[in-house]
A and B are shown apart, each in its own frame.
Chain A
Amino acid sequence: MHRTTHKTDWGVVVGRATGILVLLAGILFAAGLCNATPQDNSVPSIFDSHSTPADSIRHLSLFVLSITGLIFLVVFSLLSYAVVKFRSRAGDTEREPAQVYGSTQIELAWTIIPILIVVVLFLATARVIHAIQDTPKPAEAVEVTAIGHQFWWEFRYPGLGVVTANELHVPVSDSSHPTPTFLRLLSADTDHSFWIPQLAGKTDLIPNRVNETWLDPHQTGLFLGQCAQYCGTQHAKMLLRVYVDSPEDFKAWVQRQQQPVNEDAKEAAGRRVFERTACLNCHAINGTNGTGRFGPDLTHLMSRSTIASGAAENTAENLRLWIQNPDAIKPGSLMPAMKLSDAELDALVHYLETLR
């Protein structure tokens, strides 16, 4: 008898505790979403979308969430009801309950209703798949080739003759005059994945394969993302920044990137360091004999706000540290420690700072 009372308690507790936990989860979820919409886009929430493909995904997601949420409520209530209602009670006789083996009608019902739900979900999904994947490229689209490297991003604008790294600039797209950006995605080594949650879903960069994705942002600003496919030691610091510029800003940025390199003779000492050491095996600077492509193009290094694929701010101090001991910023990155003398380092950093 004593044992039976205990059983009763646990039944109620299971139901209530689960209810409370689900409620807590719901609150956290709501908090997460509120948290996700500050003005500066520092939280890259998928529900705070600012680009056509990300918007379509958000709409589909909310639809799927509401249907699955409804299913959850119904089944959860039924289960909780059964757990509370049919628990064995203190006053129960020792008799077994009625032995029921099944019911064809009921089982048919809970087969057919889920099939209908699946059909609805699938139709909604297929529509969005088609809308995102089979969109034709308009003539005004900006074309970019993105190449994933261990552990940084190379961006080439073949139509504009611009090469940069880690910080992608794209024009804002006006719905009356859309200028989306279409990206060809390649990889130089292992698999990577291009993911800016607020602008589009992710697409992998796979060696020996050409993938495509597109962005159609309708708000200017900086959008954050990072590599989303494990690619090796420093996968975590393969960060990604996308600047959505107004059409004028984008034009100005492109013009600056197209400028030839600064040819000031005073910087010759630093330039000689660059050309004489191993730097030029991996890095290119227009107008020097450095044409390496294992590392980022440095021609307009100072136009970027970060170095090491977003791992550190682009300051003179960080440049010095990065050149002398990359592991201090990004342990396991493929940049070797250059072991320059202080004089060489001063000259080199001074030279790099002129690459605007």
Chain B
Amino acid sequence: MSSDVMTIQSAAASGRPWTEVLHEWITTVDHKRLGILYILYALVFLLIAGFEATIIRIQLMRPHNDFVSPQVFNRMFTMHGTTMIFFVAIPVLFGFANYLVPLMIGARDMAFPRLNAFSFWLTALGGFLLYFSLLGGNGLYGAGNAPDVAWWAYAPLTSRAFSPGHSTDYWTIALLVSGFGSIGTAINLIATILCMRCPGMTLNRMPLLAWLNLIMAGMVILAISPLTAAQVMLSVDRYLGGHFFDTQAGGSATLWMHFFWIFGHPEVYVLVIPAFAFASEIIPVFSRKPIFGYPVMVGATACIGFLSLSVWAHHMFTIGMNSYANSFFAITTMAVGVPTGIKIFNWLGTMWGGKIQFRTPMLFCMGFLFQFLIAGLTGIMLGAAPFNWQLSGSYFVVAHFHYVIVGGILFALFGAFYYWYPKIIGRMLNEGLGKLHFWLFLIGFHLTFDVMHFPGILGMPRRIYTYEPGRGWDTMNFLVSVGAFVQGIATLVFVVNLVISYFKGAKAGNDPWDAWTLEWSVSSPPPTYNFASVPTVASRRPLWDLKHPEDPDSRYE
């Protein structure tokens, strides 16, 4: 049946003019197509932002290098950070959520398909606006410029006095517009998960991926809203003579910091919780065991979500808060380690006593587990406020959060690509290229980000376009740069794999991994309507029940 559906689609596609196909993709409200659009969009920006990182690393390969000017360097790290967070990480995770959540809860689409499309196109417009600054940033000059205020855009550097021209405005409007898109998608996910589950799928039987995305969506609403408000305030300052952040007229620079980090810290968890979700689906399947401690996994994630709303000022330990405030944010920050630790141990419990198969998705999840452990521990160090006074704003912090975002989130995300690509495309990704991608990326990652901790300990601040020789930073920076190139090559292997497998990959069939959740019960790729008849489930692993009628999960839950 699966091949029937595919033949019909491809025959139909090849028989029509490309304009019609394009029109269909642009006007689509299908959650699967929108999911794919989100993912493709994010992949394009991943390559762009990766290219910007390469420029940064070439410049820092040796002291007093003059590969690019300070102005260009400052734009590169601003664009790299902004792009990676807002136009790579968020869209790609929303893409997977869009694609997978309805399939996994037995729904035929998202709750609000048109809002879904609207949200995607808002996000897409945001990314376009950010990069349009390269043409229109200076307004009058024709040859414009990208923003150079760093991705935190701390006040008062963003005021008209220090950022003339329009580059900062493009940054503001890009985030404002894509912020509305994110909020739309979050509302949609919440409504879908709460209202569209198939018969029998109680909250207690929902796949962890759906649970975690529900928590993520709640946090998006809580986190992105203040950021969006702050962007409006900044525009009021810049164009309507407001003084929220204008320190020369009595405004407050720290007000922006609070707004930014009440967004910024939950944002980390907005990104990492979907990564947890991938790991929580992939690790059980490749360990051949159900997730260990399902209720605790849900509880711990909710707890992380809740705690993460009370830790934002640990990004601001150096701004001169009093000792009570510093102590408060130190304890809340360290407390996040407890539910995070529970999650790591529960994944360990899932693997324990299993029969672990090291296919590429599982390899990436193992990378995720080990690296996220280290990222969590350096996070505890940064939570100890006095230690933070030394490490904050240094390359140690840069290494720490890249450990979270690359070592944790990106590794889990690559795992998700290898795991669900067969479902989305109908063909397997090449396993050999997958393993080459994994090992190359692992080596590059550790070379770059393990080494990067040390210049920070030796006093090297972040966001400097060059540095003085003789401070013990030279060799380390060189190694970091070499590692970055290795990661770049590994990413190209991944892209090649995506393209080659699209045409030449082995046919996947409905259920290539012998998995247990509903998306594997339909054809690959799934039909437009997802389910011919709406399924009914009796446990957390409906396909396990189907495959093992003698020993169904429903007997134990």
User: CB within 8 Å of B: which residues of A?
Assistant: 7, 10-11, 14, 17-18, 21, 24-25, 28-29, 32-33, 35-36, 42-47, 54, 56-57, 60-61, 64-65, 68, 71-72, 75-76, 78-79, 82-83, 86-89, 92, 96-103, 106-107, 110-111, 114-115, 118, 121-122, 124-126, 128-130, 132-134, 185, 189-191, 193, 195, 197, 200-204, 206-209, 211-212, 224-237, 239, 331-332
A32 CB contact (under 8 Å) in B373, B468, B472:
B472
Q: Which residues of A contact B370 (CB under 8 A)?
A: 18, 76, 79
Interchain CA distance A128-B357 in the complex, whole Å: 47
**Extra contacts besides A86-B356, A191-B157 (6): CB < 8 Å:** A86-B354, A100-B289, A101-B290, A118-B331, A129-B323, A191-B154
Chain A residue at minimum C-beta to C-beta distance from B456: A46
Asked if A43 contacts B459 (CB within 8 A), the reply is: yes
Interchain CA distance A240-B359 in the complex, whole Å: 52
Chain B residue at minimum C-beta to C-beta distance from A26: B450
Interchain CA distance A24-B349 in the complex, whole Å: 28
Interchain CA distance A227-B393 in the complex, whole Å: 10
Asked if A133 contacts B322 (CB within 8 A), the reply is: yes
Asked if B346 contacts A107 (CB within 8 A), the reply is: yes
Asked if B358 contacts A43 (CB within 8 A), the reply is: no
Asked if A83 contacts B351 (CB within 8 A), the reply is: yes
Asked if A207 contacts B318 (CB within 8 A), the reply is: no
Asked if B351 contacts A134 (CB within 8 A), the reply is: no
Asked if B342 contacts A233 (CB within 8 A), the reply is: no
Interchain CA distance A83-B384 in the complex, whole Å: 32
A111 CB contact (under 8 Å) in B338, B378, B463, B476:
B338
Interchain CA distance A107-B291 in the complex, whole Å: 13
Q: Which residues of B contact A64 (CB under 8 A)?
A: 380-381, 384, 387
Q: Which residues of A contact B392 (CB under 8 A)?
A: 202, 228
Q: Which residues of A contact B74 (CB under 8 A)?
A: 230, 233, 235
Asked if B458 contacts A129 (CB within 8 A), the reply is: no
Q: Which residues of A contact B355 (CB under 8 A)?
A: 86-89, 92, 96-97
Interchain CA distance A99-B545 in the complex, whole Å: 13
**Size class of B's contact patch?**
35 or more
Chain A residue at minimum C-beta to C-beta distance from B458: A45
| Interface window among B91-99, B177-185, B246-254 | B246-254
- B401 touches A (CB below 8 Å): no
CB contact under 8 A between A193 and B458, given known A44-B471, A60-B386, A231-B157: no
Residues in B469-523 with C-beta less than 8 Å from chain A: 470-472, 476
Interchain CA distance A224-B468 in the complex, whole Å: 11
Asked if B446 contacts A25 (CB within 8 A), the reply is: yes
Asked if A14 contacts B351 (CB within 8 A), the reply is: no
Asked if B337 contacts A114 (CB within 8 A), the reply is: yes
Q: Which residues of A contact B556 (CB under 8 A)?
A: 101
- B366 touches A (CB below 8 Å): yes
Least CB distance, B157 to chain A, in whole angstroms:
5
Interface digits, B286-303 against A, CB 8 Å rule (1 contact, 0 not)? 011110111110000000
Q: Which residues of A contact B326 (CB under 8 A)?
A: 129, 133
- B451 touches A (CB below 8 Å): yes
- B335 touches A (CB below 8 Å): yes
Asked if B450 contacts A21 (CB within 8 A), the reply is: yes
Asked if A86 contacts B330 (CB within 8 A), the reply is: no
- B107 touches A (CB below 8 Å): no
Residues in B329-360 with C-beta less than 8 Å from chain A: 330-331, 334-335, 337-338, 341-342, 344-346, 348-349, 351-359
Asked if A236 contacts B465 (CB within 8 A), the reply is: yes
- B457 touches A (CB below 8 Å): yes
Interchain CA distance A235-B351 in the complex, whole Å: 48
CB contact under 8 A between A122 and B248, given known A197-B459, A203-B320, A230-B463: no
Subset of 27 A-B contacts with CB under 8 Å: A14-B363, A24-B450, A28-B450, A32-B457, A42-B472, A68-B380, A88-B357, A99-B290, A100-B349, A122-B330, A125-B384, A189-B162, A191-B154, A193-B461, A201-B390, A206-B253, A206-B319, A209-B320, A224-B459, A224-B471, A230-B462, A232-B157, A233-B71, A233-B74, A235-B74, A236-B464, A236-B466
Interchain CA distance A132-B389 in the complex, whole Å: 11
Asked if A121 contacts B380 (CB within 8 A), the reply is: yes
Q: Which residues of B contact A60 (CB under 8 A)?
A: 384, 386-387
Asked if B390 contacts A233 (CB within 8 A), the reply is: no
CB contact under 8 A between A45 and B457, given known A7-B357, A101-B556, A103-B293: yes
Asked if A118 contacts B292 (CB within 8 A), the reply is: no
Asked if A100 contacts B471 (CB within 8 A), the reply is: no
CB contact under 8 A between A11 and B457, given known A101-B292, A102-B294, A203-B318: no
Asked if B342 contacts A121 (CB within 8 A), the reply is: no
Asked if A118 contacts B337 (CB within 8 A), the reply is: yes
Interface digits, B535-553 against A, CB 8 Å rule (1 contact, 0 not)? 0000000000000100101
Asked if B334 contacts A79 (CB within 8 A), the reply is: no
- B36 touches A (CB below 8 Å): no
Interchain CA distance A204-B155 in the complex, whole Å: 13
- B327 touches A (CB below 8 Å): yes
Asked if A86 contacts B351 (CB within 8 A), the reply is: yes
Interface digits, B112-154 against A, CB 8 Å rule (1 contact, 0 not)? 0000000000000000000000000000000000001010101
- B192 touches A (CB below 8 Å): no
Asked if B71 contacts A332 (CB within 8 A), the reply is: yes
Asked if A97 contacts B390 (CB within 8 A), the reply is: no
Q: Which residues of B contact A72 (CB under 8 A)?
A: 373-374, 377
- B214 touches A (CB below 8 Å): no
- B394 touches A (CB below 8 Å): yes
Interchain CA distance A211-B320 in the complex, whole Å: 6
Q: Among B354, B387, B388, find the residue whose CB has the most chain A CB atoms closer than 10 A.
A: B387
Q: Which residues of B contact A211 (CB under 8 A)?
A: 319-320
Asked if A118 contacts B472 (CB within 8 A), the reply is: no
Least CB distance, B441 to chain A, in whole angstroms:
12
Asked if B327 contacts A208 (CB within 8 A), the reply is: no
- B199 touches A (CB below 8 Å): no
Asked if A206 contacts B320 (CB within 8 A), the reply is: yes
Asked if A209 contacts B454 (CB within 8 A), the reply is: no
Asked if B373 contacts A100 (CB within 8 A), the reply is: no
Q: Which residues of A contact B450 (CB under 8 A)?
A: 21, 24-25, 28
- B385 touches A (CB below 8 Å): yes
Interchain CA distance A312-B442 in the complex, whole Å: 41
Asked if A110 contacts B342 (CB within 8 A), the reply is: yes
